[in-house]
Amino acid sequence: MTAARASFDDLVRPHQSALLAHCYRMTGSLPDAEDALQDALLRAWRSLDSFEGRSSLRTWLFTIATNSCRRLVEQRSRRVLPVDFGPPSDPHGPRGPVLEESTWVTPFAGAVEEASPPAKYESKESVELAFVAALQLLPSRQRAVLLLRDVLGFSALETAGALDGSVASVNSALQRARGAIAEHTPKQSQQQALRSLGDAEGKSLVNRLLGAWERRDVDGLVELLAEDVELSMPPEATWFRGRTDVAEFLREVPLAKSMCWRGVPVKANGQLAFALWLDSGGGWQPHSINVLTVADGCVSGFAAFRSPPLFDAFGLPARPEFA
């Protein structure tokens, strides 16, 4: 490694995890975020000599990353969650299609840095599934404006400079973006809900749900769910709403007697979550990263991301040894 490259890496390293989280918010996908970040770092490396220090290094790096993300999202289809894709399914009816991975918002496994003091959102709030999914409904410029202003704490002037616009146009875009986000996100964030629940009770809730899943105890599991719980399973478009339909599906499919499960709690999107492995006769195989939404002490959302490659991103073994 050259001295110049080593110096560049030293400059970027303190910002790298925050840059990855920013790219995830912009793209709704951890793989896309990693691609956008690599593009941004390459562009920053190539243009380092032109950085004149008129803005902070942080502002410069996030400007480059934002525009790398915008180029990427404008070339690809908008990512969604199954609940935004179509209506809920009948547990007695046919399952929905399995769609390409590029259709869906994916979970986030990275660390989240503390928010800047002017920011409107807590750092963990800004990677919650509902918030990230709502961001994907915005045009890329509105998305960028909201993230730069309300998550990263950029001034209106800095944001205008980053996006080659005027302060007036940035303020207008911000108002439209805030209105759309408020319309598509719950009034209570998961960080507020988890603080109300408390750390000990949150851990207990995950462990009780996971234990019921491993025992295939549908009745015990359903007791932990809200009446209007929503269960989704990307990359399938199928999803279910309500305890009755969710219980019927669980009893007939994933928690049928032939299934053998093991799992561990994980951290994802600043929310309660756990990973599951399935042994259907050929040894333990990675199955899903399951991100939970809680409300009033119950699980109100259960997003089972069935993508084995995610296990590597979460630092989990593909074939663990379970007793």
Cβ-based neighbours of 132, under 8 Å, separated by 6 or more: 24, 25, 28, 105, 108, 269
Cβ proximity of 251 and 119 under 8 Å: no
Least-confidence region, from 7-11, 37-41, 85-89, 244-248:
7-11
Q: Percent helix, strand, coil in the chain (nearest 5)?
A: 50, 15, 35
> What architecture does CATH give domain 198-313?
Roll (3.10)
pLDDT at residue number 52: 65
| Helix 30-46 × helix 3-12 angle, to 10° | 130
Q: What is the mean pLDDT of residues 269-298?
A: 95
Note the pLDDT of residue 117. Answer: 64
Confidence of residue 115 (pLDDT cuts 50, 70, 90): low
User: Which pair of structure tokens corresponds to residue 114?
Assistant: 């503390």
Poorest-pLDDT segment among 142-156, 157-171, 200-214, 306-320: 306-320
Q: What is the mean pLDDT of the chain?
A: 93
Asked which of 36-45, 50-59, 63-72, 91-100 is least confident by mean pLDDT, the reply is 50-59
> With contact defined as beta carbons under 8 Å apart, do 296 and 226 qualify?
yes
Instruction: Say what the pLDDT of residue 85 is.
Output: 92
Q: Is-contact 36 54, C-beta < 8 A?
A: no
Among the ranges given (70-74, 103-107, 108-112, 196-200), the one the predictor scored with the smallest mean pLDDT: 108-112
CA angle 316, 318, 323 (to 5 degrees): 90
Give me the mean pLDDT over the 216-221 stretch. 97
How far apart CA 247 and CA 240 sit, in angstroms, is 10
- Report CA torsion sign: 194, 198, 201, 203: positive
Instruction: Summarize the confidence of residues 282-305 as an average pLDDT.
Output: 96
E strand map for the chain: 225-232, 239-241, 261-268, 271-278, 285-295, 298-305
* Residue 88 per-residue DSSP state: P
Residue 86's φ and ψ, nearest 5 degrees, are -170, 180
Assign 315 to helix, strand or coil. coil
Q: Average pLDDT of 186-193?
A: 95
The tokens for 314 are: 């979460």
Q: How confident is the model at residue 258 (pLDDT cuts 50, 70, 90)?
A: confident
| Alpha-carbon torsion angle 182, 153, 47, 5, nearest 10 | -110
CA distance 18 to 153: 13
Q: What letter would DSSP give residue 258?
A: T
pLDDT at position 323, please?
Answer: 62
Give the pLDDT band (50/70/90) at residue 282.
Answer: confident
Helices (H) and strands (E) in the chain, counts: 14, 6
Q: Return the domain boundaries, the chain.
A: 3-76+107-184, 198-313
CATH architecture of structural domain 3-76+107-184: Up-down Bundle (1.20)
What is the average per-residue pLDDT within 133-146? 97
CA dihedral 164, 148, 118, 166 (to 10 degrees): 20
Please give the Cα distance from 280 to 101 (Å, whole number). 24
Q: What pLDDT shows up at residue 156?
A: 97
Kindly indicate the confidence band of residue 50, based on its pLDDT and cuts at 50, 70 and 90. Answer: confident
**Confidence at residue 123, expressed as pLDDT on a 0 to 100 scale:** 84
What are the φ and ψ backbone dihedral angles of 216, each rounded to 5 degrees? 55, 40
Mean pLDDT of 57-79: 94
Q: Which residues contact 40 (CB under 8 A, 6 or more apart)?
A: 19, 23, 61, 64, 65, 67, 68, 69
Least confident of 13-17, 91-95, 288-292: 91-95
pLDDT above 90 (res 69)? yes
